[in-house]
Amino acid sequence: MDPNKRPDDMQRINTPELAQAFIDEQVQAVREQAGDGKVLLALSGGVDSSVVAALLIKAIGKNLICVHVNHGLMRKGESEQVIDVFQNQMDANLVYVDATDRFLNLLDGVDEPEAKRKIIGGEFIRVFEEEARKVGDEVDFLAQGTIYPDILESQDGVKAHHNVGGLPEDLQFELVEPVKLLFKDEVREVGRALGLPEGMVERQPFPGPGLGVRCLGAITRDRLEALREADAIVREEMEAANVGAWQYFAVVPDVRATGVRDGVRAYEWPAIIRAINTVDVMTAEVPELDWALLKRMTDRITHEVPGICRVAYDLTPKPVGTVEWE
Ligand code: XMP
């Protein structure tokens, strides 16, 4: 039997009872595979790695070593939530690496989107590799949040399936991939049954380079901070209004616009609200947001976020635009 093929008769996990049965089965399987060995996991805070972390904590407790790399480009409260959920609530063995300065120093003055993406991706692997080397001698297994669409896509040649990817050859670990036969909705169901917070289980897709590709052009710390705050307001208001859009966030370009604040001339950045609906992300439509909601977000962002005096709503579908600006 091909371990990377989902059996035709495998039931869709769509109830808490089925999720619990899956958890019991996987806890047993992971215990058999890992024994008393130590397992390393890159925990981004995304749905897949979070569910794998929670599952492995249940199975092997402190023998799981989670590494969370904060590249300084996370959304507001995200790294804090990872620490709160996994360290404080689940008592996990969590290594938290604040690499903000490393990333922002490397990105200083770099304005070309692909160059930014390469720097962020490359540095991420280096930081994780350093942490892996620190514990390398004791570790025998590498856990990954591979899910079934990753396997299907790599088989179809759509994209190379690299979850942690790029670890040096001399760091050879056996893989632990407990959710590799599941679809995304099933991973979410399992996450709920494991007691993960709803905000984590229903988390929107977030690019690996994070806010780095939404703080357009050369990133500066003050504009990155303004973006993080504006983005938090967009998410809060869209959630409160229960819009149900597929993905929404803020973007802050590196241009400034004239405004008036407290009777004096202001010269500050604009924030752009981006929201889309999609089925497969190959194409996307822009939802017709309620006018009062748009006005509320504009009012809050321009009053609560230092450095932003203007707000625009991006009406561009994909194609011709992509979802992200960079
Ligand atoms: P685009 O901009 O290509 O985005 O229309 C399509 C979807 O992919 C997400 N995205 C990424 N996800 N790593 C990721 O894991 C990335 O580098 C990346 N770039 C874009 C984007 O947020 C959207 O959901």
Q: Output the domain CATH number for residue 302.
A: 3.30.300.10
Q: Mark whether 21 and 123 lie in a shared domain.
A: yes
Sorted by sequence, the CB contacts under 8 Å of residue 27 that are 6+ apart come out as: 55, 58, 59
Does the pTM of the predicted model rise above 0.85? yes
Which is more confidently placed, 287 or 129?
Answer: 287
pLDDT for the residue numbered 74: 98
Residue 64 placed within a domain: yes
Residue 28 placed within a domain: yes
Q: Pick from 205, 228, 252: which residue ends a domain? A: 205
pLDDT for the residue numbered 282: 93
Q: Mark whether 192 and 231 lie in a shared domain.
A: no
Q: Pick from 205, 230, 253: which residue ends a domain? A: 205
Ligand 1 atom with minimal separation from the 208 CA? 13
Helices 100-107, 113-135: inter-axial angle, 10-degree rounding: 150
Residue 318 placed within a domain: no
Q: Mark whether 112 and 245 lie in a shared domain.
A: no
Residue 10 placed within a domain: no
Q: Mark whether 156 and 89 lie in a shared domain.
A: yes
Q: Mark whether 195 and 225 lie in a shared domain.
A: no
Q: Which of 206, 277, 286, 324 maximizes ligand 1 atoms within 8 Å of its Cβ, making it the mutation to test the pocket? A: 324
Q: Is 50 annotated as a binding residue?
A: yes
Name the nearest CA neighbour of 210 among 56, 52, 37, 326: 326
Distance from the alpha carbon of residue 322 to the mean position of ligand 1, in angstroms = 9
Q: Mark whether 228 and 190 lie in a shared domain.
A: no
Q: Which of 184, 323, 325, 326 maximizes ligand 1 atoms within 8 Å of its Cβ, making it the mutation to test the pocket? A: 323
pLDDT by residue (tens digit) across 127-184?
A: 999 998 998 788 999 999 999 998 988 887 766 555 555 567 777 889 999 999 999 9
pLDDT for the residue numbered 160: 58
How many CB atoms lie under 10 A from the CB of residue 88?
A: 10
Sorted by sequence, the CB contacts under 8 Å of residue 237 that are 6+ apart come out as: 293, 296, 297, 300
Chain-centroid distance of CA 134 in Å reads: 25
Among protein residues, the one with the nearest Cα to ligand 1's atom 8 is 207
Q: What percent of the chain has pLDDT over 70?
A: 97
Q: Mark whether 122 and 234 lie in a shared domain.
A: no
Among protein residues, the one with the nearest Cα to ligand 1's atom 12 is 207
pLDDT for the residue numbered 156: 78
pLDDT for the residue numbered 166: 58
Ligand 1 atom with minimal separation from the 213 CA? 19
**Which residues have C-beta atoms less than 6 Å from ligand 1?**
205, 207-209, 247, 281, 318, 322-324
Residue 247 corresponds to which tokens in the numbers above? 């993905």
Residue 87: give the domain boundaries.
16-205
How many CB atoms lie under 10 A from the CB of residue 133?
A: 13
pLDDT by residue (tens digit) across 30-55?
A: 999 999 999 999 999 999 999 999 99
State how many domains the chain has: 2
Q: Mark whether 266 and 232 lie in a shared domain.
A: yes
Ligand 1 atom with minimal separation from the 206 CA? 22
Angle at 203 between CA 199 and CA 209, to 5 degrees: 130
Residue 156 placed within a domain: yes
Mean pLDDT computed over every residue of the chain: 95
Residue 81 corresponds to which tokens in the numbers above? 């939530």
Q: Mark whether 44 and 162 lie in a shared domain.
A: yes
Distance from the alpha carbon of residue 50 to the mean position of ligand 1, in angstroms = 19
Phi then psi dihedrals of residue 217, to 5 deg: 70, -155
Q: Mark whether 243 and 179 lie in a shared domain.
A: no
Residue 29 placed within a domain: yes
**Do residues 197 and 69 lie in contact, with contact meaning Cβ atoms separated by under 8 Å?**
no
Q: Mark whether 141 and 262 lie in a shared domain.
A: no
Average pLDDT score over residue span 7-23: 97
Residue 263 backbone class (left: φ over 0; alpha: ψ -120 to 50; beta: rest):
left
pLDDT for the residue numbered 25: 98
Please report which confidence band the pLDDT of residue 97 belongs to, taking 50, 70 and 90 as the band edges: very high
Distance from the alpha carbon of residue 324 to the mean position of ligand 1, in angstroms = 7
Among protein residues, the one with the nearest Cα to ligand 1's atom 10 is 207
Among protein residues, the one with the nearest Cα to ligand 1's atom 9 is 207
